[in-house]
């Protein structure tokens, strides 16, 4: 269920090719909407550049990068994780920029809520979009944000027809599925 319990908010982050759209939801209402000009294509271009390979090859390599935190990784005094893999070296700052933008949005939302005399906490981040395919992303975000992070999967119900063919790829098609359901209803 996507809607938050009373007194809480949920941040929904749709990580697309060109933009990452961020929405903060309270009850059944979207209260903050932002479009951040950071997307998967920029990450792919960065990986291609650092590895000196074509974009198509970088896209394939990107699927093998794992940014999940491990006990041996550490962050420097600026909160930046030290990594040895060149592709991971460009991926982690990319994700860290999204973390900063999400934090800014949450702080903005909470300051606006406080001015209105409300105290609403953002306890969960829901991920959608093709950018969610980055290995270890939910764990990394959970560690950096201190929030519960889940991937939206509209095809998680395996009891329907060919749903198994979509297993694990629901986040990529969350927007398309939502638009299709909107037209249907």
Q: What is the pLDDT of residue 157?
A: 61
Strands lying side by side in the sheet with 148-151: 29-36, 20-26, 8-15, 121-128, 148-151
Burial (CB count <10 Å: 0-12, 13-18, 19+), residue 161: exposed
4 and 27 Cβ atoms separated by less than 8 Å? yes
Q: What is the pLDDT of residue 181?
A: 47
Q: Where are the beta strands (DSSP E) in 16-78?
A: 20-26, 29-36
For position 77, what pLDDT does the model report?
A: 61
Q: How far lies 170's CA from each of 2, 50, 125, 132, 151, in Å?
A: 14, 30, 16, 10, 9
Q: Please list, in sequence order, all residues whose beta carbon lies within 8 angstroms of the beta carbon of residue 62, skipping any fewer than 6 positions away.
A: 40, 43, 44, 47, 87, 91, 134
The terminus-to-terminus CA distance of the chain in angstroms comes to: 19
Angle between helices 86-115 and 40-51 (to 10 degrees): 150
**Cα 131 from Cα 141, distance rounded (Å):** 13
In a structure prediction context, what are the per-residue pLDDT tens digits for the chain, which is 185 residues long?
Answer: 567 778 889 999 999 999 999 999 998 899 999 999 999 999 999 999 999 999 999 999 998 999 998 865 555 666 555 556 899 999 999 999 999 999 999 999 999 999 999 889 999 999 999 889 899 999 999 999 999 999 987 766 655 555 555 455 445 555 544 544 445 54
- pLDDT number for residue 58: 95
State the Cα–Cα distance between residues 80 and 71, nearest whole angstrom.
15
């Amino acid at each position: 269920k996507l809607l938050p319990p009373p007194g809480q908010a949920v941040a929904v982050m749709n990580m697309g090719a060109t933009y990452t759209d961020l929405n903060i939801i309270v009850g059944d209402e979207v209260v903050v909407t932002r479009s951040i000009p950071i997307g998967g294509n920029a990450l792919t271009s960065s990986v291609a550049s650092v590895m000196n390979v074509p974009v198509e090859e970088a896209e394939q390599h990107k699927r093998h990068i794992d940014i999940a935190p491990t006990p041996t990784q550490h962050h420097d005094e600026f909160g930046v994780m030290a990594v040895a893999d060149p592709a991971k070296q460009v991926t982690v700052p990319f994700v860290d920029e999204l973390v900063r933008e999400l934090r800014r949005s949450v702080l903005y939302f909470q300051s606006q809520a406080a001015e209105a005399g409300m105290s609403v906490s953002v306890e969960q981040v829901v991920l959608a979009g093709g950018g969610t395919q980055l290995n270890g992303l939910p764990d990394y975000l959970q560690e950096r944000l201190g929030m519960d992070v889940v991937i939206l999967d509209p095809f998680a119900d395996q009891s329907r027809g060919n749903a198994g063919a979509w297993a694990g790829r629901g986040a990529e098609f969350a927007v398309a599925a939502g638009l299709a359901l909107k037209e249907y209803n």
